[in-house]
Structure 1
Amino acid sequence: MSLIKQLWIAIAVITALALGGSLVVSTLSARHYLEQQLQVKNFDNATSLALSLSQMPKDPVTVELQVAAQFDAGHYRLIRLTSPSGEVVVEREFSGTLDGAPEWFSRLIPINARPGIAQVQDGWHQFGTLTLDSHKRYAYEALWDGTLQQLLWFVIGGALTGLIGTLIIKHITRPLGQVVEQAEAIGGRRFVTTPEPGTMEFRSVVRAMNTLSDRVRTMLAEESRRLEQLRRQTQHDDMTGLVNRGQFLNLIDSALARDDAHAAGILLIARFSDLAALNLRLGRETTDSLLRDIARHVGEFAAQHPDWEAGRMNGSDFALLAPGCEDPGDLALRVGQALHAALDARPEGHTVALPIAASAYAASESRSHLLARVDGALATAEQSGDRAIRVAERIDKSPPYDDLQAWRNALTSSIERDGVRLGRYPVRTSDGRLLHDEAPIRLMLNGAWQAAGYFLPWVARLGLMPRFDVAVVRAALQEISASGAQLGINLSPESLCDATFRGELFGLLQAAPQAAPKLWIELPEYGVVRHLGEFRALCVALRPLGCKLGIEHVGARFAHLAELHELGLDYIKIDAAVIRGIDTNAGNQSFLRGLCMIAHSLGLVTIAEGVSSDAEKRLLPDFGVDAMTGPAV
């Protein structure tokens, strides 16, 4: 019960007690006063009438007329004149009813005023005894009116007291709203701090909660820093700081298994020809400095895009993985110009050979085919010159549509005629229970249902991602309403920044209040890092609707999510590059264990992506993974 309701109840109880006590005391006091006044009136009027009768002739008619005149002139209940022998000489009595106080009130509070008694003389002899009793109707009426007035004032006073008290309580408890919001945020795994209010009691509570939030934030920051150090030690090359060969191969596998707008991309490799001879000619320190310089420039290319990765494949090969990039020739030319210029800026750089090769890749392509294609182009570049650049063309079917406009027409036509279907890939807990189904989009194109990796790169290129994401949300809600299944869908970072999409998303979810809590919505880690403000706003807006929110492909940039504790997430999906070969990779095992520990401290469910073997499936629960998905699941 709220404080305002408790205040009103307290005021009502106190008012009732005060009114009851005051009514009893004031009514009894008024009754006693009225009784005294009636008694005095009865005595005075009886004495006055007896004196008048004593001075008048005592014939029956005169006496009766005098008594009748007195009775008619005043408000009397009874005037009676009796002889010394007890016989009634004259009597006038009011036998009707008069309006005044309610009868129940008269019975509840009786007024007992003694009648006035006086002696009537006839000379020196007693003529009779006069009894006079005034009517109590006006006394009851005055007592009833006073009681009503007092009751009215008490009601008005209680209402005014309640209103003033409500305003005062609202002013005093205004900081309580912030305390409640902070408590709800902590309950929702968002460890925020609020300014301390002026009220001493509230200030103590807020200070304690702020201390808790600061401790959790500090703990998470320290664990994130430690985890990032561990990741760099196990996944990066010590000398150059780039991703090492084992992890880079995992990243390639993860990129080839993607089923989103960045399912296609480019792999580029730059090679120092004859590194052993270079070491002998320049010396180890100079060669190492040269390698670090080239690695820095390759890393700068990767840093310009949140989902690109730079790695060192071996002593002489530096690689760049560029998901979502479309033109391998342009990328190879830009990287070549930058690296060759960096070499030329060094005194010994003019004599260093650095050929470059690149090739585009597509979803579901095998890693061995991609590496063989790039290695072949790199061998050709080495034979063509010290600074040669070669692009390996993919041997693939010709695209079904010739240009962007044809792709646009085909995509929009398919989505407009409801050529949208959702796939189903289970996400299961370690004990085999179904957590939810991943539901990637499928589109009817060229007479067949195509996977997302087939057409989403073109959708992104044409700027249609928000429109397709709306179609996915609509299809998922319809399927949930029909089957009651828990479905997980992916949204793109482009949609996250689109105001029209956000409005349509909220409208669809609000229109399906029973289906919305069964919808799992996730965005890629690189998109969240890049658009953290928009993602936080999405979390705040969707939380009341009951949707479960998560981040997919979590791994290399987990430490960048410094404000993860404020987002109120429900789960994270750990990137397949971390999971691949986890049964034999001790470094990734330590990183995964620390990542799951931080996630669990925030109350997040951890899901492993791309589980491809039974060995991985058996070991993942030991590292803290709650659920998993992939070919082995």
Structure 2
Amino acid sequence: MTLRRQLLLAISIIFFAVFLGLQILSVLTMRDYLQQQLASHAQDAATALSRPLEEALAKNDQTLANIQISTLFDRGYYKKIVVLDPAGKVLLHKELNGGKDNVPAWLPALFDLQTPPGEAFISSGWRQLGKVVVVSHPAYAYDYLWRSMREMALWMFAMYLVVWGLTVVLLRIILGPLEKIEEVAIAIQAKNFRRIEVVPQTRELQRVVVAMNHMTERISSLLDEEIARAENFRREAFIDKVSGLENRHGFDLRFNHLLSEEGRFETAVIFVLEFDGLKEYNHQHGYQQGDILLADVATVVTEVFSKYSNILGRIGGASMAAVCIDVDQKTMQLLVDALQYRLNQVLLRASRQVSLAAGALVFGPAQTRGDIFSRADLAIEVMRQAGNGQISLTLMEDSEAVIAGSHGWRTLIHNALADHRWVLFAQPVMRLQLRQLVHHEVFSRLLDTQGNLVPANQFLPMALRHQLMPEIDQAVVTLVMEMLQKNRGTYKNIAINVSLQSMESKEFCEWMQARLKYSPELTALLSVEISEFACAKDHAVTRKFVSVLRELGVRFGVDHFGLDPHALNFIREVPPDYIKLDGGLVQEVATNDNSHAHLRAIVKFAQSLGIPLIAQNVESEASLQLLIADQVECGQGFYFGAPEKIVVAEAG
């Protein structure tokens, strides 16, 4: 219960207690007053009757006496009038019962009005003729008491509504800053450190706000320092100092990662640029001028590819390369034309002592790095020999075959979705020091019509081309949930990968939310992994999808982390439950000091946010011990076990 509701409830209880006390006090006071009035009224009536009854009783005329009594009794203010002779014998008697219909039955039972009788002697001279006894009727007194109680209750209720409304307004003013404090506290719990902009006037709350802002500023500054340190190590390891592009080492890591990650792209184009005559230009004008020329060229390359490139690097002394994924043929040609025109302008300033030899090669995910660069080198040589300075787009033969067979792949995937021809494989993720199981990562494979497994790097690019990834991810999530339902206790936790295409699909997000909402016991066992590439490409989509996962109670992890220059800032904005270090970076640690320093900076940053790290591609005991020394908590790789096919238990 919120503090506002607690205060309103406390005020309501206090108000009710005060109302109850005032009501009881008022009723008791009113009851005493009414009892005195009833007694006085009865006595006055008895005294008034004694004189008329004297004459009637002196003549022994009971009819006259009865008329005298009825005249007074019929007004209805009296409950009983009795005339007694000197011996106490009843001469006349009139009594009225009931008369409390206008008040609830509980009122007379709870507040009994005593009606003392009024008495007067009847005498003629010195001779006593009898006595008259009058008892007032309490009906009107009860009615008056009930009306008084209702009026007081209505007035008190009206006052309560006024006070309640004023209290709500005042609490909103007073506790408004407290809600901001609560929001920031929740954000800090989610590792999102931000300031409280509203400073309350209340001294105690003001001190809390100042203290929390001071704490968040200190933590934010520490995180900024860690990010800056990690970025410095990344630049030392992977950035070329002259051009500002990725160096050969960084380019190779990211390019190999691009080719190895399943479902990352459908088609890609690589631009390889070589600058002939640069060595002679350096000898003639000095290396400083040569570096300036390279920096100008790098600026042009960065500006031309700013919206489309995924990797930009200087891969040799006089060579640069850019990789763009999933751009159409028209865009590729525009990039070629813009690049050629801009570079010619730069080289013209070098008096054409330096010339451009370039190749643009379109390839698919099935190609190897060696084949791609071999064909790119051939395209460069063709351009160099032609001597026309024109960059042309070249398609690799395998890529052409894949594109030509696009319809066949689409049919195969559609049929697999319709026939549920999917197989799940699971690989363990272990805690390094204790060798304890953390969770299993699940991979999906397609079965063709002959029952053969189809590698993911073959069908996923076609799924991306035909916008089928949401349907595939939906099929995988369904299989995993059914497996968890049937194989209860077999798997501790399960991690699945979701593509950027699925996150961008409103239908998939709504389906997943509905599918997981009513299975909280299974949802608690589920983790969703999103690649660093997807997180960096569209922050807004990723942030929205992660918020849905948080609402469902699903854990969220970032996969293949450590190579993108903007990834650390995203982690700070949307802290995941865990981070998986890229396998290529992990393998570089043992042989490259700069990569090792970069990894240690990532570890320090993750520890600052309390985020566990999982190293991928752990293949040996030496690699394991090195990761333990660097305080990496968990690992995944063939050292702990290869992916194994999941056998779903039959329903009992």
TM class by shorter chain equals: 0.7 to 0.9
Residue deviations 1:574-624 (CA, integer Å, cap 9, x gap): 223422221232222222222233333334332223334433322223334
Residue deviations 1:175-197 (CA, integer Å, cap 9, x gap): 35554444333323333456527
Structure 2 CA distance for aligned equivalents of residues 12 and 103 of structure 1: 24
1:285 counterpart = 2:283: no
Query: What is the letter of the counterpart of residue 67 of structure 2?
Result: A
Residue deviations 1:142-161 (CA, integer Å, cap 9, x gap): 34323433443454445444
Greater mean deviation of Cα atoms: 383-392 or 618-627: 383-392
CA distance 1:406–1:65, change in 2 (3 Å): same
**Shift of residue 22, structure 1, vs aligned partner:** 3.6
Structure 2 CA distance for aligned equivalents of residues 333 and 438 of structure 1: 41
* Contact kept in structure 2, 1:228 and 1:559, CA below 8 Å: no
Which residue pairs with 2:239 in the alignment? Answer: 236
**Shift of residue 120, structure 1, vs aligned partner:** 0.9
* Contact kept in structure 1, 2:53 and 2:68, CA below 8 Å: no
CA distance 1:172–1:624, change in 2 (3 Å): farther
CA distance 1:298–1:628, change in 2 (3 Å): farther
Structure 1 CA distance for aligned equivalents of residues 260 and 144 of structure 2: 90
Structure 2 CA distance for aligned equivalents of residues 269 and 401 of structure 1: 23
* Contact kept in structure 2, 1:599 and 1:605, CA below 8 Å: yes
Residue deviations 1:312-371 (CA, integer Å, cap 9, x gap): 3443443445555799x97996698368625632334x3335544676666587656766
Task: Name the Cα RMSD after superposition.
Answer: 4.1
- Of the three residues 120, 123, 147, the one matched with 1:120 is 123
Gaps of 5+ in 1: none
- Give the match's secondary structure for 2:560: strand
- Of the three residues 253, 256, 265, the one matched with 2:256 is 253
Show the 5 A alignment for 1:474-485. Answer: 474-484=478-488, 485=491
* Contact kept in structure 2, 1:436 and 1:487, CA below 8 Å: yes
Structure 2 CA distance for aligned equivalents of residues 193 and 410 of structure 1: 53
- Of the three residues 595, 599, 609, the one matched with 1:602 is 609
Greater mean deviation of Cα atoms: 231-240 or 270-279: 270-279
* Contact kept in structure 2, 1:378 and 1:390, CA below 8 Å: no
Which residue pairs with 2:144 in the alignment? Answer: 146
**Shift of residue 264, structure 1, vs aligned partner:** 6.7
Query: What is the letter of the counterpart of residue 553 of structure 1?
Result: H
Which residue pairs with 2:536 in the alignment? Answer: 529
* Contact kept in structure 1, 2:363 and 2:399, CA below 8 Å: no
* Contact kept in structure 1, 2:118 and 2:134, CA below 8 Å: yes
Which residue pairs with 1:226 in the alignment? Answer: 229
**Shift of residue 456, structure 1, vs aligned partner:** 1.6
Show the 5 A alignment for 1:505-544. Answer: 505-510=512-517, 512-544=519-551
CA distance 1:155–1:616, change in 2 (3 Å): farther
- Give the match's secondary structure for 2:524: helix
Show the 5 A alignment for 1:89-168. Answer: 91-93=91-93, 97-100=97-100, 105=108, 109-111=112-114, 113=116, 115-118=118-121, 120-122=123-125, 126-128=126-128, 130-136=130-136, 138-139=137-138, 141-168=139-166
TM-score under structure 1 normalisation?
A: 0.82
- Give the match's secondary structure for 2:486: helix
1:417 counterpart = 2:419: yes
**Shift of residue 546, structure 1, vs aligned partner:** 1.3
CA distance 1:199–1:478, change in 2 (3 Å): farther
1:453 counterpart = 2:453: no
Query: What is the letter of the counterpart of residue 479 of structure 1?
Result: M
**Shift of residue 299, structure 1, vs aligned partner:** 4.3
- Give the match's secondary structure for 1:196: coil
Structure 1 CA distance for aligned equivalents of residues 322 and 278 of structure 2: 19
**Shift of residue 424, structure 1, vs aligned partner:** 2.0
Which residue pairs with 2:35 in the alignment? Answer: 34
CA distance 1:54–1:70, change in 2 (3 Å): closer
**Shift of residue 415, structure 1, vs aligned partner:** 2.2
Structure 1 CA distance for aligned equivalents of residues 140 and 567 of structure 2: 82
* Contact kept in structure 2, 1:196 and 1:203, CA below 8 Å: no
Greater mean deviation of Cα atoms: 273-282 or 391-400: 391-400
- Give the match's secondary structure for 1:186: helix
Show the 5 A alignment for 1:466-615. Answer: 466-484=470-488, 485=491, 486-510=493-517, 512-559=519-566, 562=569, 564-567=571-574, 569-615=576-622
Structure 1 CA distance for aligned equivalents of residues 625 and 345 of structure 2: 48
TM-score under structure 2 normalisation?
A: 0.80
* Contact kept in structure 2, 1:15 and 1:154, CA below 8 Å: no
CA distance 1:95–1:167, change in 2 (3 Å): closer
Which residue pairs with 1:315 in the alignment? Answer: 317
* Contact kept in structure 2, 1:265 and 1:325, CA below 8 Å: yes
Structure 1 CA distance for aligned equivalents of residues 435 and 464 of structure 2: 36
Query: What is the letter of the counterpart of residue 435 of structure 2?
Result: G
- Give the match's secondary structure for 1:515: helix
**Shift of residue 31, structure 1, vs aligned partner:** 2.8
* Contact kept in structure 2, 1:255 and 1:323, CA below 8 Å: no
Which residue pairs with 2:646 in the alignment? Answer: none
Show the 5 A alignment for 1:56-67. Answer: 58-59=58-59, 61-62=60-61, 64-67=62-65
CA distance 1:110–1:40, change in 2 (3 Å): closer
CA distance 1:163–1:600, change in 2 (3 Å): farther
Structure 2 CA distance for aligned equivalents of residues 450 and 211 of structure 1: 56
- Give the match's secondary structure for 2:588: coil
Which residue pairs with 1:403 in the alignment? Answer: 405
Gaps of 5+ in 2: 641-652
1:184 counterpart = 2:182: no
**Shift of residue 127, structure 1, vs aligned partner:** 1.0
Structure 2 CA distance for aligned equivalents of residues 270 and 616 of structure 1: 36
Which residue pairs with 2:429 in the alignment? Answer: 427
**Shift of residue 377, structure 1, vs aligned partner:** 7.2
Query: What is the letter of the counterpart of residue 597 of structure 2?
Result: S
Structure 1 CA distance for aligned equivalents of residues 109 and 391 of structure 2: 115
Residue deviations 1:471-507 (CA, integer Å, cap 9, x gap): 3333333333333543323333333333333333333
Which residue pairs with 2:648 in the alignment? Answer: none
Which residue pairs with 1:11 in the alignment? Answer: 12
- Give the match's secondary structure for 1:440: strand
Query: What is the letter of the counterpart of residue 70 of structure 2?
Result: D
1:341 counterpart = 2:344: yes
Greater mean deviation of Cα atoms: 91-100 or 375-384: 375-384
Query: What is the letter of the counterpart of residue 142 of structure 2?
Result: W
- Give the match's secondary structure for 1:351: coil
1:618 counterpart = 2:618: no
Structure 2 CA distance for aligned equivalents of residues 558 and 626 of structure 1: 23
Structure 1 CA distance for aligned equivalents of residues 106 and 180 of structure 2: 57
Residue deviations 1:47-103 (CA, integer Å, cap 9, x gap): 4443335556734x32x44443344342363534454xxx34764345774343869
Structure 2 CA distance for aligned equivalents of residues 383 and 619 of structure 1: 50
